[in-house]
Structure 1
Amino acid sequence: MALNYHQLHIFYTVAQRGSFSVAAQALHMTQPAVTMQIQSLEDYFGSKLLVRSTKKIELTEAGETLLPFARQSMELIRETEQAMSSFTFMLEGRLQLGASLTIGEYVLPRLLGPFGRQYPQISIMLKVMNTTQIVEEIVNHQLNFGLVEAPVHHPDLVFEAVMEDELKLIVPAGHPLAGRRQVGIEEVMSYPFVLREKGSGTRQVMEEELERRGIDPTRMKTVMELGSTGAVKSAVEAGFGLTLISPSSVKHEVALGLVEILDIKDISFKRQFYSIHLKSTLLPVSAVTFLTFLREHKLLP
């Protein structure tokens, strides 16, 4: 018998999940099939790798030694697929992914067209929802992966940065600050603001950067807190206040002359967009290709 990646993948999943039955569910296999593959791996090495205790599966010394190599093999396969994805011209498949509000409503729509023309055999089903819902559907194997605006810390998931974005100051047409390319933070703070709700990724990035600069976010004259970027844009257009959001979300309004994008002197509100997927499941090549495509199409100039 030769050592194969499939068995290492099963061993790694059992070790991570601490249960044959839970690992079998994650791998879409029967529990006896998982047990048989682990036994075959133990026969190959001539050593016990896992021990069933009263509560969960525990690694033997041999299992502890094998675990990092199993993890490395999974990472190597991912890197190989990513490196070779650009040479795979006959990709086929149906990607099911979730995206948080800003990404799903304003970033992905303008990228899906070019991706579809380059890879017409890949069909994409996109769900726009909040991060909690995305995590739940990935864990339940209803989505291949998700795209979110902040790192997700979950024992079954891995996350990695795929795109960089930056919040900018958005002012309505005719505002006293309109027509200027750059303004100082103290001048900005003297005007009313319309902001996303507390706890949103956009609000978090803004507040953390202000605090890092020694500026108390509560000094902002917040006249409205709204639950969507669309509502924030409408309020800014109506002249209720300024805001800090992604320029990707106001391209249409800028083109129509409804709002303007300004820089704040010496302050940059940069953030990452992240992909998340199950540790125990390798992404299909079509998904790796899509993520590679996103990395190559930067949002920032």
Structure 2
Amino acid sequence: MNFHQLHIFYTVLERGSFSAAAQTLHMTQPAVTMQVQALEDYFGTKLFNRSTKKIVLSEAGHTLMPYAIRSIQLMRETDQAMSAFTHMLEGRLQLGASLTIGEYVLPRLLGPFGKQYPNISIMMKVMNTSQIMEEILKHQLNFGLIEAPVTHPDMVIEPVMGDELKLIVPHDHPLAERQEVALEEVLQHPFVLREQGSGTRRVMEEQLFSKGLDPGTMKIVMELGSTGAVKSAVEAGLGITIISTSSVKHEVALGLLKIVNISDASFKRQFYAIHLKSTLLPISAVTFLTFLREHSNDN
């Protein structure tokens, strides 16, 4: 018995068939079948009850499953623990990132990561969460970084970085000279916001609901599909907004926009990593995610 066989056994059950497991593991179906049979020979008992329609665990398979899951989790924890010592890694990472992460957060961290791990190349696609999940399921991406938690039976979702949204106003706005302002006063001003359904919009609305406020009463003069467009509209004086501080560092440094604290509300959130349950991430990917956790306050 070896870990590889346990991983194959788990993937067959997770994917529901030997053919689907073979596709996930990039193996041939006969090779998957052979490894499961080798595991059955080792224990001297059948692990699956096979039928024409589906496969189900035998009593022995039910007994083995929690140990297989624990072994996979232990391997993941081992990779994460050892990633700090693996500085000679090579490889190509293919990842997807949602808009704020891909355009404003990761670019500031990719440079330091590249200096520390010069032989790891990164190919990043900036897209929405549903597109990221679709490409992960098709094995076109190793993992994704998204702005809000999602639920999928085949996916592992784990927090990886923190972020905070703040009130952003034009440099000549009446609130620009204030160090702090109450939420009630903020909501009296016209807003330029991200579109409905975006991670940024969702975080803001959830905080308002928690304060007993209805986001539908806000004076929304414009809804835009990108953070860059929102920033440009605010800079032009069309309204104020609440977006990630990571996205306005440049404009604040130039004096074009101002960050103002809201005294009685906090818009904090997590960014999440997402990947297939049945796939063990390469050590280079584990190292990259560990790097993000350790440098989450550097962006």
- TM-score of Structure 1 vs Structure 2, range by shorter chain: over 0.9
* 2:21 maps to which of 5, 23, 26: 23
Which residue of 266, 270, 273 corresponds with 1:272? 270
Candidates 63, 66, 72, aligned match of 1:65:
63
Report the counterpart of residue 195 of structure 2 in structure 1.
197
Q: For 2:123, what is the secondary structure of its paired residue? A: strand
State the percentage of identical aligned residues.
Answer: 76
Task: Output the CA distance in 2 between the equivalents of 1:270 and 1:175.
Answer: 24
- AA matched with 1:83: A
Segments of structure 1 that go 5 or more residues without pairing to the other structure are none
2:216 aligned residue: 218
Q: Pick closer, same or farther for the CA change 1:19–1:146 going to 2, 3 Å.
A: same
TM-score by length of 2: 0.98
Aligned residue for 2:248, secondary structure, equals helix
Distance, in Å, in 2 between the alignment partners of 1:300 and 1:33 is 46
- Amino acid in structure 2 at the alignment position of 1:173: H
Runs of 4+ that moved beyond 6 A: none
In the alignment, does 2:94 pair up with 1:96?
yes
Q: Normalising to structure 1: TM-score of the pair?
A: 0.97
1: distance between equivalents of 2:267 and 2:173?
22
Residue aligning to 1:7: 5
Residue 181 of structure 1 corresponds to 179
Count of residue pairs brought into register by the alignment: 299
Q: Distance in 2 between matches of 1:171 and 1:299?
A: 23
The alignment yields a C-alpha RMSD, in angstroms, of 1.1
Q: CA deviation at 1:151?
A: 1.3
Q: Distance in 1 between matches of 2:66 and 2:179?
A: 51
In structure 1, the residue matched to 2:127 is 129
Residues in 1 aligned to 2:100 and 2:273: alpha-carbon distance in whole angstroms: 14
- The CA distance in 1 between the partners of 2:85 and 2:223, in whole Å, is 47
Q: Please list every run of 5 or more consecutive structure 2 residues that lacks an aligned counterpart in the other structure.
A: none
- Alpha-carbon shift at residue 266 of structure 1 (Å): 2.0
Give the Cα–Cα distance (whole angstroms) in 2 for the partners of residues 85 and 131 of structure 1.
27
- Secondary structure of the equivalent of 1:206? helix
Q: Does 1:289 align with 2:287?
A: yes
| 1:141-169 C-alpha deviation (Å, 9 max, x unpaired) | 11111100011212211110000101100
Q: Comparing 150-159 with 289-298, which one deviates more in the overlay?
A: 150-159
Bigger shift: 59-68 or 238-247?
A: 59-68
Amino acid at match of 2:186: V
Indicate conservation of the 8 Å contact 1:165/1:300, yes or no.
no
Whole-angstrom distance in 1 between the partners of 2:208 and 2:94: 36
